A and B are shown apart, each in its own frame.
Chain A
């Protein structure tokens, strides 16, 4: 129990004075793989929110590289201890890249949305597309999964958070998958635009 208490104190001492919290629960795209923490889109988004006058919002980066939708609920349980008002659910890229069954990914995302809604946390669903090399059938199904979930759970939906970033070498690291600093700025713009009127 003691380690848990220690972590809990550590975890939320710096955040407890913030009035409103927005958690970004995602994978390496959220974590900011390869860029500094301040350059990852959650940090850029926070700056934009503050610049637009929403200074009461703190954005928590809960991105974990390599994570799949299966981790959604357990991570929400941990990060929701900070009592956030809203969560951007940006998971699924690794499910797709690893070719997991879309039905399973959809089930895990649905469980995560249900858990968040059960905790009275507003859900914003960040949609993703698979690269064309995965084949039309798979990429279409993948895209449709997010649309179906957004409609079913009536959540705020960002169709493609990597819009204008994916596939453009100018906005990505050498691996061609992870956004660079410029790419993260665009993602922050995409999310910021979608959040207008929501927060």
Chain B
């Protein structure tokens, strides 16, 4: 019976139904589009990490796995998993043009499961490509450094141990090479099957072995990794995932992933805000009908049921245009973005996005409206004789009714962000913000009623109307304020996070790294650099030391008689026991920012200072539990040096300058045995090769690494990440404005009856417009102003607790949003007033009644 009643009523007020569906689907389209881009970006990031690992999972060790381990490993993986195996080891390559240390990478037919190798001949080597000539003949692919350093090229013969091979191609781009893996030696790709012929791998050889796995569709990497760790108990065996492989940009990827999590929650809140507001409007327009049904004998519970059914049905119907809009918008948007960003994103509507959209439309909106729905129980038949519409402020206050909404959004937030921390922090901030907006809104609305001395009746009437209908005004105020807040959070955070991805310009990016430079070699190196007209970017001393004690407690972990209990315990112990590279400099470099404490007081003064001053990189300090004031005792090659942490500093990742976890005050370690690291700025290829060859000839121990290619790749990734932030912040802005548009539009619809009455009473078109414009200008401006101001606080909190980056406050974006929201409200109000003036009063009365 309830369903029939619900359907009959819907058919009767089909115009309102269409309005509801249209506005709801506008907000939901924004949500679905944001979710689709979010997913597409995450897929892109994952693909990048998988390309570095070239697999879903890798089991790596510095030894062969036993038969038993291999069997257990295969059993632990899901059925349908594909397997490959590669070896990596250093070897001396010899040829008629000279010999050199190379890193041999012996691969099989499955390599690489993900990503590709681009060869200079134009070939692209992928998992399925049939152009891997090294697997069919005695051939090899080499890194181009071997061409510049030894003059080797395609067609030349090389020898690795006893194995003779012909170079068939040079590697132009290798997705598996990361900045840190930019190793001492250029790579040579060979066929794994030929290894035995080389005679290089035997007892005592040092090599890395990796079993690479391509998991079947639907398999979860983390579960497979855990299963593997359960059966492969030897700590010498590592299970690597794409997340651990993308080491260079790991932190930034983490930031981006957290940011995308926030985008997902913001999108959810925006769509919920729109849906809840429109749903509330729906109920308020139906209160009179409910009163009639109640007088005809319908129970309150049944009345609630009818409107829940109606709204759910409308919500369900709204998902149809949502999907249609999204299908239309997404390809257009991705094509547009592809023309000016480095992305080729293919956003598609995921099942997950569809289900959340459905949940929001059918179920979520009425959960949000439970506080309003329960007011049906307070509805009296006398309402039928009232000309006023039912207001949210009427009836008994039931605070428990907010609980289901809180619980639902808390879990949805955690789910969307994939993080308890972010979800909890966000919900907590939102509760505080809503409370703040309620207080500010209440004061504003009440203050509006006290405004005196207005010379025109419609101004006076506008402010009085705001104050008189305090409940409804407050609802619009909170909705607009929340909208302004949600719109501003992502762009504010983006400004701060983008600083993480920016680099200082090409002149400050190194092309060569030199290390193991001895003190006495500097005059000679300087001479070469002067001759080649090159000024090094940095020269940092490197002093090896061990931390012996922290605040009087032993720092190093000693092995117990029964060995380490867990893999993690052993890793931690090895990390602590492996010694430290200390450095010193007079002041911090451009790539470092002190975030806590005080700067160095100047060179060490043994007459005034008992201890040396120390500066510690903040993440290292976190990991080790160090804080300002801690006293560390180092063993610097037999000498004990005591220091006190005076500051924590952050190191900028994209600077590519030599950086250290611990810096010691100048004047303490200057006489200690040390070597130097230096970086050479960008040089054209020929000049770079020339300098490298000259230095290698004169200073054979000085290792020089060409980082141009890897730096370039990392910078491209950083640029993509920066664009991702820009893109999502931009999309969130657009979505937010669409939601606010639908909210203001719905609110104006609610006022049509009142505006019409003014017209009937003799108000001119201009006066009707001025009345509604004054009201909305006032509300929208104050609500968006406070919403935008609160967004700065929320962004600051999220930035501090989640991203730990330097907060960059920008006033432009919040102020622009205040202007846009106010302008948008004025425009919609104006159009509505024009509409009312144009239409006949009778038709509006009929429609509204």
Measuring CB to CB, which residues of chain A are less than 8 angstroms from any residue of chain B?
2-8, 10-11, 14-15, 31-39, 60-71, 74-75, 78-79, 82, 95, 97-101, 104, 108, 129, 131-138, 166-167, 169, 173-177, 181
Contact = CB atoms under 8 A, between A and B. Distances in A.
A100 B699 CA distance: 10
Interface stretch (B74-82, B198-206, B211-219, B732-740): B198-206
A3 B606 contact: yes
Given A100-B700, A134-B91, A173-B574, A7 B639 contact: yes
Interface string B54-85: 00000001110000000000000000000000
Nearest to A5: B606
A100 B696 CA distance: 10
A3 B671 contact: yes
B200 A135 contact: yes
Interface in B506-565: 516, 518-521, 544, 546, 548, 556-559
Contacts of A136: 161, 199
B834 interface: no
Contacts of B556: 36-38
A122 B251 CA distance: 50
Interface in B480-521: 516, 518-521
A108 B519 CA distance: 15
Given A36-B557, A133-B90, A70 B516 contact: yes
Contact of B639 (A10, A74, A95, A181): A10
B587 interface: no
A67 B675 contact: yes
Contacts of B603: 3
A136 B518 CA distance: 30
A78 B674 CA distance: 10
B667 interface: yes
B184 A131 contact: no
Contacts of A5: 606
A55 B185 CA distance: 46
A7 B669 CA distance: 8
A48 B671 CA distance: 32
Contacts of B607: 2
Nearest to B184: A98
Interface of B: 61-63, 89-92, 94, 100-101, 160-161, 184-185, 199-207, 235-238, 516, 518-521, 544, 546, 548, 556-559, 574, 577-579, 603-607, 635, 637-641, 667-673, 675, 700-701, 703
8 contacts: A2-B605, A34-B577, A35-B559, A104-B701, A134-B91, A135-B161, A136-B199, A173-B574
Contact of A6 (B61, B206, B604, B701): B604
A132 B205 CA distance: 5
A35 B574 CA distance: 6
B546 A131 contact: no
A66 B516 contact: yes
Nearest to A31: B579
The 5 A-B pairs of least Cβ separation, nearest first, read: A99-B101, A176-B62, A167-B204, A70-B701, A11-B639
Contact of B92 (A34, A36, A99): A99
Contacts of B62: 169, 174-177
B160 to A, nearest CB: 7
B614 to A, nearest CB: 15
Contact of B91 (A4, A135, A181): A135
A64 B701 contact: no
Nearest to A8: B671
Contacts of A99: 90, 92, 100-101, 184-185
Contacts of B578: 33-34, 65
Nearest to A181: B559
Contact of A133 (B201, B637, B670, B672): B201
Contacts of B205: 131-133, 167
Q: Which of B100, B578, B638 has the most CB of A within 10 A?
A: B638
A177 B668 CA distance: 33
A67 B62 CA distance: 23
A138 to B, nearest CB: 5
Chief secondary structure at chain B's binding surface: loop
Given A2-B606, A10-B639, A98-B703, 18 more contacts: A4-B671, A7-B668, A37-B635, A38-B558, A68-B516, A70-B518, A70-B701, A71-B518, A71-B675, A74-B673, A79-B637, A99-B101, A101-B700, A131-B204, A132-B200, A132-B201, A134-B91, A173-B574
B101 A75 contact: no
Contacts of A166: 204
Given A2-B605, A134-B92, A79 B63 contact: no
A91 B382 CA distance: 99
A75 B203 contact: no
A169 B237 CA distance: 11
Given A3-B668, A3-B670, A98-B101, A133 B91 contact: yes
A122 B100 CA distance: 35
A131 B206 contact: yes
B142 to A, nearest CB: 16
B700 A138 contact: no
B538 to A, nearest CB: 18
A28 to B, nearest CB: 8
Q: Which of A6, A38, A74 has the most CB of B within 10 A?
A: A6
A173 B559 CA distance: 13
Contacts of A10: 639-641
B236 A132 contact: no
Contact of B236 (A36, A138, A169): A169
Contacts of A133: 89-91, 161, 200-201, 205-207
Contacts of B204: 129, 131-132, 166-167
Contacts of A97: 90
A136 B199 CA distance: 9
A177 B206 contact: yes
Contacts of B558: 36, 38-39
A33 B573 CA distance: 11
A137 to B, nearest CB: 7
B559 A15 contact: no
Contacts of A60: 638
A129 B202 CA distance: 14
Nearest to A36: B556
B638 A11 contact: yes
Given A31-B579, A98-B101, A99-B185, A104 B700 contact: yes
Contacts of A33: 577-579
Contacts of A167: 203-205
Contacts of A6: 604, 606, 668
B238 A69 contact: no
A64 B637 contact: yes
Contacts of B671: 3-4, 7-8, 78
Contacts of B605: 2
Nearest to A10: B639
A111 to B, nearest CB: 11
A34 B544 CA distance: 14
Contact of B673 (A14, A37, A64, A132): A64
B206 A39 contact: no
Contacts of A35: 559, 577
A174 to B, nearest CB: 4
Contacts of A134: 90-92, 200
A99 to B, nearest CB: 3
